[in-house]
C-alpha cells in the first residue's frame, strides 16, 4: 500500500521537530498506523535546513503554502504556521479540497474552531488539534476519548510554561518578575513580545478548547476571563509560602449552577497538592470527573519534539480513520455536532472563590477593625490573618487576609470600600484561591 502523503506548512521549531520525529520513527509509526506516512511537500518562508533532521527526505520544499494545500497528491495537511492569518485561509482551503488537517494552532481553534469544524463536517474530513493544548501531553484525547464515560466536573491546569517558569523562579530564588522575564526571553522560553504568555491569552486559548470538549459546548474564547501574572510581587510569593500555598497561573473551567466557569488567573493552591509542585516550564492538567475521580496529566507543554509528538499522533489517528465513514469518527469537540449545547459562560462577578488579600495599612490601632468590619458587612468570612512587622522607620505595614469562598461581586465591593479608607495606602492586591480537592 502506498504511503500517505503529507503536506507540511511551517518549518519552524515544531515543524522541524515533526519532520525529525516522523522520519526517525517512520517504521514504528507505520506499524501503528497500518500504512507508511511521508512528508512529500513542505512550505516555509524561512527555515534552517541544518537544524532539521530528515529534511532531505521531503520531496519538494517551497515558500508557497497554498500550492501545497492545492496539490492533489497530498492527503493530509499539517498546519504549523501559527497565528490567525493566513493559517485560517489555508486550513479552510485544505478542507474545501477534501483534505484532512492536523494543527497545533490553539489561537486558530479557540477563535475560529466553530467555523472550521462546521466546514470539516460538511466535507467529511477531520481536523485534529491535540498539539494545540499542553504540547506533548495527550490531554485532548484523554478528555475526549479516555474519559468519555464520565461527566466532567472541572478541569484546572498549568497550561503555559513561560508563566510557570517565572513564578517558579520568583519562589525558589526570590527574584522579581521583570528580572525573571528577561531571563526567560534570553533562554527562549518567552517571546520578544511576551504578552500572550504573561497576560494569560495563550492559556485562555487552551482553556477555551478544554472547556468545549469537557462540557460539549461551542468554543467561546471571548467569554473566557483572562488575567496575567504581571502584578504578582515577590512579597506575595513569599507570604503565600508562609501560609502554606503556592501561586500558580491556572486555567479553570467548571460546570456549576447551570453554567460554566471559564477563567485564567494567578491562583493560590495549597502546597500539598500535586499540581502546586509542577515547576519550571512543565505543564499539568488536573481533571475531576464523576466516575474515575481526579486524574492528573503532566509533561512538557511546549518544545520542538514534545509538541511534534502530539502532531504525529494526530496524523496516525487520521491515517487509521481514512477509510472510516465520517459519521463514525471521533467528534471534533467530543460530542456529536448536533448534541452541542450553548451553555452559559458565567461572568466573573458571579463566580465564587476564596481570596488572598494584601494591603498596606497605617501602623496604628483600629485599622484592622475597620477592614474586618467592611469584610463582615459584605458577608466575607476571614480564614486567616497575617500581619507583618513594619520595616524600620516605615509608617505602613502589610496585612494579609485569607477569606472563605464568596462571590466575586461581593469581593469587588469590599475592596472598593477598603481602598477608600484613609488608613490604607494604594490598591489592595487580590489573588484568588482554589483548594482543588
pLDDT digits (tens, 9 = 90+) for 93-151: 999 999 999 999 999 999 999 999 999 999 999 999 999 999 999 999 999 999 999 99
Which residue in 88, 99, 206, 255 is the catalytic one? 206
Please tell me the predicted confidence (pLDDT) of residue 70: 98
Residue 325 has pLDDT above 90, yes or no: no
Q: Which pairs count as long-range contacts for 291-297, CB under 8 Å and 24+ apart, including other chains?
A: 291/149, 291/150, 291/151, 292/147, 292/150, 295/142, 295/147, 297/134, 297/137, 297/138, 297/139, 297/142
> What percent of the chain lies above the pLDDT cut of 70?
100
Residue 393 has pLDDT above 80, yes or no: no
Please tell me the predicted confidence (pLDDT) of residue 1: 82
* H-only helix segments in 124-160: 139-141
pLDDT band at 205 (very low <50, low <70, confident <90, very high): very high
Please tell me the predicted confidence (pLDDT) of residue 395: 80
CA gap 397, 416 in Å, rounded: 19
Domains and CATH numbers, the chain: 4-136+304-339 (3.40.50.720), 139-300 (3.30.360.10), 352-433 (3.30.70.260)
CA gap 289, 348 in Å, rounded: 23
Rounded average pLDDT over 413-434? 97
pLDDT digits (tens, 9 = 90+) for 345-354: 999 999 999 9
Please tell me the predicted confidence (pLDDT) of residue 394: 76
pLDDT band at 331 (very low <50, low <70, confident <90, very high): confident
CA gap 353, 252 in Å, rounded: 12
Residue 17 has pLDDT above 80, yes or no: yes
Place of cell 500535586: 274
Q: Which three cell numbers stand for residue 266?
A: 494567578
Q: Which pairs count as long-range contacts for 69-72, CB under 8 Å and 24+ apart, including other chains?
A: 69/7, 69/9, 69/93, 69/94, 69/97, 69/99, 70/97, 71/7, 71/41
CA gap 271, 258 in Å, rounded: 31
Q: Which three cell numbers stand for residue 2?
A: 502506498
pLDDT band at 266 (very low <50, low <70, confident <90, very high): very high
Q: Is 93 a catalytic residue?
A: no
pLDDT digits (tens, 9 = 90+) for 72-89: 999 999 999 999 999 999
pLDDT band at 390 (very low <50, low <70, confident <90, very high): confident
* H-only helix segments in 174-303: 177-186, 195-198, 201-215, 234-242
Residue 11 has pLDDT above 80, yes or no: yes
Q: Is 394 exposed, middle or buried (0-12, 13-18, 19+ CB in 10 A)?
A: exposed
Rounded average pLDDT over 323-331? 81
CA gap 40, 31 in Å, rounded: 19
263, 264, 253: which is closest to 216 by C-alpha? Answer: 253
Cβ(157)–Cβ(288) below 8 Å: no
Residue 186 has pLDDT above 80, yes or no: yes
Place of cell 492533489: 72
Please tell me the predicted confidence (pLDDT) of residue 298: 98
Scored b (16 or more CB within 10 A) or e, 253-267 reads: bbbeeebbbbbbbbb
Residue 330 has pLDDT above 90, yes or no: no
**Sequential DSSP letters for 156-171:** EEE--HHHHHHHHHHH
Amino acid at each position: 500500500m502506498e504511503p500517505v502523503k503529507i503536506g507540511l506548512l511551517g518549518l519552524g521549531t515544531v515543524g522541524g521537530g515533526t519532520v525529525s520525529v516522523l522520519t526517525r520513527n517512520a517504521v514504528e509509526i507505520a506499524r501503528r498506523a497500518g500504512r507508511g506516512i511521508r512528508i512529500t511537500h513542505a512550505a516555509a518562508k524561512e527555515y534552517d535546513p541544518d537544524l532539521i533532521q530528515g529534511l532531505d527526505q521531503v520531496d519538494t520544499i517551497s515558500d508557497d503554502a497554498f500550492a501545497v494545500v492545492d496539490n492533489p497528491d497530498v492527503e493530509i495537511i499539517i498546519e504549523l504556521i501559527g497565528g490567525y492569518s493566513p493559517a485560517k485561509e489555508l486550513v479552510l482551503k485544505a478542507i474545501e479540497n477534501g483534505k484532512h488537517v492536523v494543527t497545533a494552532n490553539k489561537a486558530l481553534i479557540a477563535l475560529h474552531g466553530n467555523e472550521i469544524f462546521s466546514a470539516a463536517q460538511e466535507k467529511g474530513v477531520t481536523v485534529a488539534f491535540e498539539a494545540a493544548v499542553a504540547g506533548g501531553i495527550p490531554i485532548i484525547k484523554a478528555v475526549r476519548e479516555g474519559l468519555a464515560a464520565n461527566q466532567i466536573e472541572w478541569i484546572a491546569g498549568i497550561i503555559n510554561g513561560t508563566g510557570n517558569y517565572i513564578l517558579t523562579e520568583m519562589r525558589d530564588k526570590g527574584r522579581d518578575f521583570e528580572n525573571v522575564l528577561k531571563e526567560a526571553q534570553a533562554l527562549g522560553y518567552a517571546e520578544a513580545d511576551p504578552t500572550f504568555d504573561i497576560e494569560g491569552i495563550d492559556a485562555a486559548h487552551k482553556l477555551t478548547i478544554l472547556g468545549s470538549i469537557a462540557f460539549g459546548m461551542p468554543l467561546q474564547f471571548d467569554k473566557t476571563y483572562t488575567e496575567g501574572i504581571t502584578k504578582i510581587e515577590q512579597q506575595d510569593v513569599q507570604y503565600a509560602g508562609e501560609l502554606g500555598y503556592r501561586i500558580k497561573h491556572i486555567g479553570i473551567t467548571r460546570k456549576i449552577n447551570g453554567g460554566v466557569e471559564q477563567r485564567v488567573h494567578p491562583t493560590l493552591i495549597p502546597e500539598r497538592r500535586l499540581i502546586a509542585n509542577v515547576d519550571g516550564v512543565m505543564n499539568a492538567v488536573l481533571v475531576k470527573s464523576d466516575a474515575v475521580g481526579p486524574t492528573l496529566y503532566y509533561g512538557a507543554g511546549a518544545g520542538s519534539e514534545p509538541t511534534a509528538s502530539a502532531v504525529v499522533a494526530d496524523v496516525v489517528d487520521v491515517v487509521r480513520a481514512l477509510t472510516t465513514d465520517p459519521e463514525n469518527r471521533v467528534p471534533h469537540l467530543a460530542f456529536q455536532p448536533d448534541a452541542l449545547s450553548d451553555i452559559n459562560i458565567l461572568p466573573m462577578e458571579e463566580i465564587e472563590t476564596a481570596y488572598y488579600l494584601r494591603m498596606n495599612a497605617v501602623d496604628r490601632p483600629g485599622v484592622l477593625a475597620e477592614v474586618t468590619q467592611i469584610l463582615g458587612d459584605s458577608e466575607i468570612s476571614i480564614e486567616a490573618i497575617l500581619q507583618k512587622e513594619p520595616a524600620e522607620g516605615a509608617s505602613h505595614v502589610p496585612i494579609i487576609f485569607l477569606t472563605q469562598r464568596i462571590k466575586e461581586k461581593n469581593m469587588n465591593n469590599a475592596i472598593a470600600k477598603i481602598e477608600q479608607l484613609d488608613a490604607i495606602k494604594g490598591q489592595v492586591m487580590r489573588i484568588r484561591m482554589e483548594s482543588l480537592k
